[in-house]
Amino acid sequence: EKIKSVGSSGLVQSSKLPPFLPGHLTLLNSLLSSSDLSPEKQKATAEAVLKIVRGYFPFISSAMRLFPTNGDVWLEIVQALALASSATQFRISDVDKQLTAFILEVLNHLLQFPFPGRLLPVLAENLRGNQSNRSWWDEIEQSDEVGDDEQLPNPPAGPSFSSGPTNNETGPRWTQRKYEACVAGAKVINASLALILRAFRRMDFTLVDIQSLACGLCRLSDSSRAMNDRIGELDNFEREVRNQSNPGSLREMVSLERSYIVQLGVEFMFACEKLLILIEKCFRFRASQRSLNQGDRTDASIVTSALEYSRLDLMDLVPVLSGPISNDIIHGVSKHLW
């Protein structure tokens, strides 16, 4: 259960977070979310979050190489930073430049691999992102082969999804544990995008990898559509099972699969909206800083390809190519996907 460090030659083999950290972060998040906190106390709580993240960042970064192990802690950290930024108007790069890079590193990897690579459709080369041959799914796939979780149908990861009540007679098993990992990854994607939009300096947008964002847009839009179709199939199948004399465990399996797909579909839809907003902000910043160079035009071409691939019909997105986009267009993504 390891996430590969982009640009490094190996994997961190072990990590141990301070035992107090998860509970402490949960408490701080609750306080920052409270409307009863005075502005002074809210600011003091936000500063406590920054102090903890800055002080324990070496442990945090090592622990996240084992994602989804400790994924709940990373989610608490990202959410705490987003809440803290609202209270203090700080920017992530002011806390730690390594943290800025690491947030992007984790996000890029999860966008490229929301599911195991074996389930993902092959994208055009310019839409693949900075992919490695390994992903955080590798050891989950291997370890789950000997687990005792109930086998479920493969998830609807893209247009090549094979429908039916059971669809994974060959290949590694798909289980409830793998769905839990998917949901954890999707929540981290959403929280990370929210944090970047709220707490990155405009200058930090130069660090964002447009190709990885475009890859994520393709991956998540593919899956969102397939999930929507799958929910319709499961609803029909559930009606058929209900008419059987002994529906038993099959009905429970359908209900379980449906609940996970709904969770993921909503997370992916919101992530697509945030991706579109972030892509637009990146291009707006570049356009405001200098004359667009060949690299910017290449990135604009990549985004155009991603929009065409994902069939979002949002070609007004890229300011390099046209004018600003409205919130109505951004939030209209839901009607295309869900």
pLDDT digits (tens, 9 = 90+) for 90-104: 777 766 778 888 888
Q: Is the pLDDT of residue 252 over 80?
A: yes
pLDDT, tens digit, 9 for 90 and up, residues 42-96 = 889 988 888 888 888 888 888 777 777 777 888 888 888 888 887 777 777 766 7
Gap between the Cα atoms of 90 and 45, Å rounded: 13
* Number of CB atoms found within 10 A of residue 261's CB: 21
Q: Is the pLDDT of residue 332 over 60?
A: no
Gap between the Cα atoms of 50 and 80, Å rounded: 9
Instruction: Label residue 218 by pLDDT band (50, 70, 90).
Output: very high
Nearest CA-CA partner of 275 in 323, 218, 324: 218
pLDDT at 296: 65
| Mean pLDDT, residues 252-271 taken together | 90
Gap between the Cα atoms of 291 and 257, Å rounded: 50
pTM: 0.82
Where does residue 222 rank: exposed (0-12), middle (13-18), buried (19+ CB within 10 A)?
buried
Gap between the Cα atoms of 174 and 161, Å rounded: 14
Q: Is the pLDDT of residue 111 over 80?
A: yes
Q: Is the pLDDT of residue 139 over 70?
A: yes
Task: Supply the mean pLDDT for the chain.
Answer: 77
